[in-house]
Amino acid sequence: MTFIHIGKDFVPPDVEGKVTGDAKYVEDFKPEGLVYARLLTSPLPSGRVTSIDASEALRMDGVLGVITADDLPPSSAPDDPVLASDDVTYIGQPIVAIAAISDAIAENAIDRIKIEFERRSFVTDPLESLVQFGPNAYPDGNVLRQSNSLEDENATIRGGIAEIKWPATEIEKFRNGQEPIGVDFADGWTYGDLDTAFSESTVIVEESFVTAGTPHHCMEPRSSMAYWQNGKCYFYASTQSQSAVVEPLADLLGIAPENVCMISENTGGGFGSKGRVYPTMAITGKFSQLLNRPVQLRITREEEYYLGVGRPGMQGWVKTGVRADGSVAAVDVIIISDGGPTGRNSASSSAQHLSVVYTPSAMRLRNIPVFTNTAPRGAQRGPGQNEMSAAIAPIMDKAARQLGMDRAQFRRVNAPHSESPVYENQGPITSAFMTEAIDKASEMFNWAEREAAPRQKNGRKVRGLGIGLGYHSAGGNGYDGLVRITPDGRIHLHSGVGNLGTYSYAGTARAAAEVLKCRWESCEIPRGSTDSHLPHASTQGGSNTIFTHTRSNWVAAENAVVKLKEIAAIEFGGDAEDYSIENERVFKTKNSNQGFSYGEAAAKAIELGGRFSGEEYPDDIHSITQRAVQGIAGSGLVGVAKDNLPKRGIAPGLMISMAEVEIDLDTGKYEVIDYIGIADCGTIIHPQGLAQQINGGAVWGFGMAGSERHVYDPQNALPANIGFYQAKLPTILDVPSNMESGAVDIADPYNPAGGRGVGEPSQGSAVAAVTSAIADALGHSFNRVPVTPDMIVNFANNDEQGSTPLAINTF
Amino acid sequence: MNPKLSRRRFIKGVIYSSAAASAGAGYYLATAQVNSNAVVERLLSLNINGQTRLVDVAPTETLAFTLRNKLGLTGLKVACNRGECGACTVLLDNISNYSCSLLTHTIKQRAITTVEGLRSVDGRLSAVQQAFIEELAPQCGFCTPGQVMAATALLRANSNPSREEARQALAGNLCRCGAYDHYLNGVMRAAELLS
């Protein structure tokens, strides 16, 4: 199919504001009368608040009020409460919010609040809690028994607190890479006949692995600001979605959703951490309601590392069986997740990653989310899939080597295709073309020749090649699209998609322009504020926007085209089928003189009213979309529809990366000196945006591979990494000067525009390529990320590792 | 580029100096140490984007705070407030500086340029701004004004940098979206536009 917009670069309307400084983020809005809130946070990792005395603070000049948990709807463990009281579960947890006429006064007033606690035992390492007689993060237990599925990564965890303990002998075995026997698990799943599959295997590799928890490091902290006007709350937040935030926030504030106006024009990074309401938003909304003044709650960089959610670390054991032809027969995996205080974990999605990219015939997952008194955990770019990708790549390399098979060929033998069954239910996918992606990457990287050649050495510097695969479920359905043509001929492509900087809010709107066969210059994109009448949209996350919202834009534009033709038929006679569109005109196919412009048709739509101009709308659209349509009714021709297009199973976003690293054995530092990422993401919708996601994801991968991690002092549960330079994201000097990217560009049949997303797999494949390359260079796999310089130096010198073997949060 | 004012040397300095300040979360950095009885000149005349601006400045106020909160120049961002990230980068006499790590009272008559001051008088974007758009360099955009200023400082000192020189010049500006390659392409394109 030949497109006029899809697959072509364009200038997204918001990019100029970003280079001029005109783009506004939460802290840039300073309404008249703004006052400031600050947080008193817990100095203890675990306990209960027994008393709070804020009287001295309240007597200070300029202090306006305080809020405690008593002023908010109750919450129960293991939820992450807005303000803690009965269950204080980590250092830095908000307990009291205070508002004052200046930020400095609010900050100083915190010191005047007297607070008393009852202390409780605490734990930072999941295995320390899992061992018999080990401490529990909650008085009632140490693990989450989850009762709902986490298909939606941003969904609230449902489940209760339970206790599981393993004998010390089994913990020790688990730490040392052996399967623990006779122990309990909280959850898991299985498919296929595991015993038979292992019996078919020529090579069996059994290894343990650890991946660290990591902070999100969004450049814009999760600050928020709110004010009330005429009974309506105007809320400014850094969020990945307007739609997903409005209803829960309205619940928190005890008002109807139509009385929340969510403004989020630009979001300075989300990466999963801003997919839903973040708890501190309730403080801003509540304070502004109580004080009847605009209130800003600024979250500092340091606070981000305490109360911001992070990726859960995990510790595991995996046994992989591979047949003589290289096909993966069986994978048996145990995952102990660090669930922080909420139990949020990604064990199932980690295992699902294996089921998709290595397509084993049989699989088993057994897992436990263990509570720890560390930062709350949440979804982070490719949750589960990407850390598993990092851990498994060198292990699969080992299996390929034992078989004597080229590592790329090994991936190719197991690559998913359009008919591959995936996940625990062995369900279908929309399409996959990973064989083509592996071939393309191999050719561009010259893999076969480089892999066969001896590794370069330069004194104490050694080089290694790596290959990694990335996957994430990358496409939803069932959301709504909304387009409007006004009598001036302007075409308004309403977008409820958040703006994280992927430009997919605009890239997906181009699907509507494609259907309307209109010039891009004739289009504008109302977005960023629910007052701009935005349809129900997915969170901009989960790599799903490209697939999900090209579909919803497509169906809304098709609805508009049908109405254009019906209006023309009313005006010029005949049936709608007799009409065509071109050059922003609707006209009789057999006589193009009989027709009118889109603008004239829009004027006629207003005259006709009813469904033509949005006074009536389909029954199946979401209430958010209904309100949006009501807001624009009568102002033009309105195309609105729910995406009821067919979809078969999961829409996979897939990536392959290849990398070369050079490791200095004296310093332990390594550089990624060559890198390529190739996506299998259907039709390329926006080439520049795709390159941004592939390369940006790779930078994330380099960070996960080498430097980023949460670290806690086990004696006091104090986080040690509370700054950019400690936790530590890559700088421009940590990435290659040139990075290559590409895509197979084969359409997904379940999207009329052909695209699937890929923002998350790009990290997973990159981190895997680097861990694979490090293991290749050293002839040794740490089975752990990040691989830090001290680990490399110790290995090179045959010294004992200074770090605790295979522990998540401590070293 | 003046070796005495290299980015690396500067960053090292601000990281050490920020260690004490970063213990508190305060925006004013040293607010708690203010002696309210001290007599300090408050009204400053600053040269900002070619204009003289009079502003009431507290003794411990950072340049980032003054520009954003007193003068409404919100283009620069405060992402760390302790000299780690470069989102608050401005030019002082054409040299890039972290405005979060400078006290406004130390600026005196130096020429301050913020991202708002880069357009020409007829409203045209600067070469760096134009090139960043053409390369779609920004993603979330929060670090972008800082990247623009770092690139501008480089090109004002060296209008024909090598890719490696450009890489070094942007090394003090973090981008969590990982758009480094695209910013680098933007700097090289801007150099072409200027030539």
A610 DSSP assignment: G
Structure tokens at B137: 């360099």
C-alpha B154, offset from chain centre? 13
How far is Cα B149 from Cα B77, in angstroms, rounded to an integer? 12
Q: Is the pLDDT of residue A152 over 60?
A: no
Q: How far is B85 from chain A (nearest CA, A)?
A: 7
**Terminal alpha carbon distance of chain A:** 55
Angle (nearest 5°) at CA A371 between A275 and A218: 30
Is residue A317 a part of any domain in this protein? yes
Taking only the tens place, the pLDDT of each residue in A549-571 is 999 999 999 999 999 999 999 99
Q: Which residues of A touch B177 (CB under 8 A)?
A: 219, 269, 501, 692, 696
The verdict on A195 and A285 lying in the same domain is: no
Cα–Cα distances in angstroms (integers) from residue B145 to residues A19, B87, B191, in the given order: 6, 7, 18
Q: Which residues of B touch A689 (CB under 8 A)?
A: 136
Q: How much is the pLDDT for A253? A: 86
**Terminal alpha carbon distance of chain B:** 19
Q: How much is the pLDDT for B20? A: 31
The verdict on A422 and A564 lying in the same domain is: no
The verdict on A365 and A424 lying in the same domain is: no
The verdict on A173 and A230 lying in the same domain is: no
Q: Which of B78, B71, B113, B122 is nearest to B92 (CA)?
A: B113
Q: Is the pLDDT of residue A503 over 70?
A: yes
| Domain chopping of chain B, boundaries | 3-194
* Other C-beta atoms lying within 10 Å of the C-beta of residue B15: 16
How far is Cα A112 from Cα A639, in angstroms, rounded to an integer? 57
Of residues A539 and A40, the one with the higher pLDDT is A40
Give the highest mean pLDDT range of A716-720, B6-10, B171-175: B171-175
A19, A218, A732 member nearest B132 (Cβ):
A19
pLDDT band at A352; cut points 50, 70, 90: very high
A743 DSSP assignment: E
The verdict on A417 and A499 lying in the same domain is: no
Q: Is the pLDDT of residue B10 over 50?
A: no
Q: How much is the pLDDT for A708? A: 95
How far is Cα A344 from Cα B7, in angstroms, rounded to an integer? 41
pLDDT band at A802; cut points 50, 70, 90: low
Stretch A312-335: mean pLDDT: 97
Q: Which residues of A touch B27 (CB under 8 A)?
A: 103-104, 107, 298
The verdict on A272 and A223 lying in the same domain is: yes
Contact predicate A564/A517, CB 8 Å: no
pLDDT above 70 covers a percentage of chain A that reads 97
How far is Cα A353 from Cα B25, in angstroms, rounded to an integer? 40
Boundary of a domain, candidates A333, A362, A382 = A382
Query: Any idea which residue has 């958010």 for tokens?
Result: A624
Stretch A233-251: mean pLDDT: 90
pLDDT band at B16; cut points 50, 70, 90: very low
Q: How much is the pLDDT for B3? A: 39
Q: What is the CATH number of domain B3-194?
A: 3.10.20.30
pLDDT band at A153; cut points 50, 70, 90: low
Taking only the tens place, the pLDDT of each residue in B75-107 is 999 999 999 999 999 999 999 999 999 999 999
Taking only the tens place, the pLDDT of each residue in A673-684 is 999 999 999 999
Stretch B183-195: mean pLDDT: 97
Element containing residue A680 per DSSP (H, E): strand A670-680
Is residue A144 a part of any domain in this protein? no
Contact predicate A420/A359, CB 8 Å: yes
Taking only the tens place, the pLDDT of each residue in A694-735 is 999 999 999 999 999 999 998 999 999 999 999 999 999 999
Of residues B3 and A42, the one with the higher pLDDT is A42
Is residue A226 a part of any domain in this protein? yes
Judged by CB atoms closer than 8 Å, whether chains meet at B142 and A268 is answered as: yes
Q: Which domain holds residue A456?
A: 389-475+649-796
Q: How far is A647 from chain B (nearest CA, A)?
A: 30
Of the listed ranges A642-646, A738-742, A777-781, B16-20, the least confidently predicted one is: B16-20
Judged by CB atoms closer than 8 Å, whether chains meet at A20 and B73 is answered as: no
Measure the CA dihedral B81/B85/B89/B93, to 10°: 100
Stretch A148-153: mean pLDDT: 56
CATH number, residue A98: 3.90.1170.50
Q: Is the pLDDT of residue A275 over 90?
A: no
pLDDT band at A16; cut points 50, 70, 90: very high
The verdict on A684 and A778 lying in the same domain is: yes
Q: Is the pLDDT of residue B8 over 70?
A: no
Judged by CB atoms closer than 8 Å, whether chains meet at B118 and A20 is answered as: yes
Q: How far is A674 from chain B (nearest CA, A)?
A: 13
Contact predicate A151/A650, CB 8 Å: no
Q: Is the pLDDT of residue A157 over 90?
A: no
The verdict on A633 and A659 lying in the same domain is: no
How far is Cα A410 from Cα A402, in angstroms, rounded to an integer? 11
pLDDT above 90 covers a percentage of chain A that reads 90
Cα–Cα distances in angstroms (integers) from residue A696 to residues A216, A392, A631, A701, B89, in the given order: 14, 22, 38, 9, 22
The verdict on A518 and A636 lying in the same domain is: yes
User: CA quadruple A594, A600, A604, A605: dihedral positive or negative?
Assistant: positive
Boundary of a domain, candidates A615, A642, A669 = A642
Looking at the structure of chain A, the number of domains it has is 4
Q: Is the pLDDT of residue A279 over 80?
A: yes
**Which of helix, strand or coil describes residue A467?**
strand
Structure tokens at A532: 């701009």
For A223, nearest residue in chain B (alpha carbons): B79
Boundary of a domain, candidates A642, A662, A697 = A642
Is B178 an interface residue toward A (CB < 8 Å)? Answer: yes
The verdict on A620 and A492 lying in the same domain is: yes
Q: Which residues of B touch A302 (CB under 8 A)?
A: 22, 25
Q: Is the pLDDT of residue B192 over 70?
A: yes
Q: How much is the pLDDT for B7? A: 39
User: 3-state SS of chain A: helix, strand, coil percent to 5?
Assistant: 30, 25, 45
B25, B136, B168 member nearest A302 (Cβ):
B25
How far is Cα A54 from Cα A71, in angstroms, rounded to an integer? 14
Residue ranges of B 102-161 with Cβ closer than 8 A to chain A: 114-116, 118-119, 125, 128-129, 132-133, 135-145, 148
Stretch B30-59: mean pLDDT: 78
Q: Is the pLDDT of residue A301 over 50?
A: yes
How far is Cα B144 from Cα A671, in angstroms, rounded to an integer? 25
Q: Is the pLDDT of residue B129 over 60?
A: yes
How far is Cα A504 from Cα A495, in angstroms, rounded to an integer? 10
Of the listed ranges A40-54, A351-365, A786-800, the least confidently predicted one is: A786-800
Report the DSSP beta bridge partners of residue A484: A492, A638
Cα–Cα distances in angstroms (integers) from residue A630 to residues A268, A486, A531, A608, in the given order: 31, 15, 11, 16
pLDDT above 90 covers a percentage of chain B that reads 77
Judged by CB atoms closer than 8 Å, whether chains meet at A735 and B141 is answered as: no
Give the highest mean pLDDT range of A142-151, A175-184, A577-586: A577-586
The verdict on A206 and A191 lying in the same domain is: yes
pLDDT band at A207; cut points 50, 70, 90: very high
Of the listed ranges A144-148, A498-502, A627-631, B87-91, the least confidently predicted one is: A144-148
- The helix/strand count (H/E) of chain B reads as 6, 5
Q: Model ipTM?
A: 0.96
Contact predicate A369/A337, CB 8 Å: yes
Q: Is the pLDDT of residue A803 over 70?
A: no
Kindly report the average pLDDT of chain A as a whole number.
Answer: 95
Q: Is the pLDDT of residue A406 over 60?
A: yes
The verdict on A78 and A226 lying in the same domain is: yes
pLDDT band at B14; cut points 50, 70, 90: very low
Q: Which residues of B touch A220 (CB under 8 A)?
A: 77, 79, 140, 142
Q: How much is the pLDDT for A62? A: 98
Q: Which residues of B touch A15 (CB under 8 A)?
A: 133, 136, 138, 141
Judged by CB atoms closer than 8 Å, whether chains meet at B133 and A698 is answered as: no
Stretch A445-464: mean pLDDT: 94
For B131, nearest residue in chain A (alpha carbons): A19
Stretch A600-614: mean pLDDT: 98
Judged by CB atoms closer than 8 Å, whether chains meet at B115 and A21 is answered as: yes
B81, B118, B182 member nearest A692 (Cβ):
B182
State the SS3 of B20-84: HHCCCCCCCCCHHHCCCCCCCCCEEEEEECCEEEEEECCCCCEHHHHHHHHCCCCCCCCCCCCCC
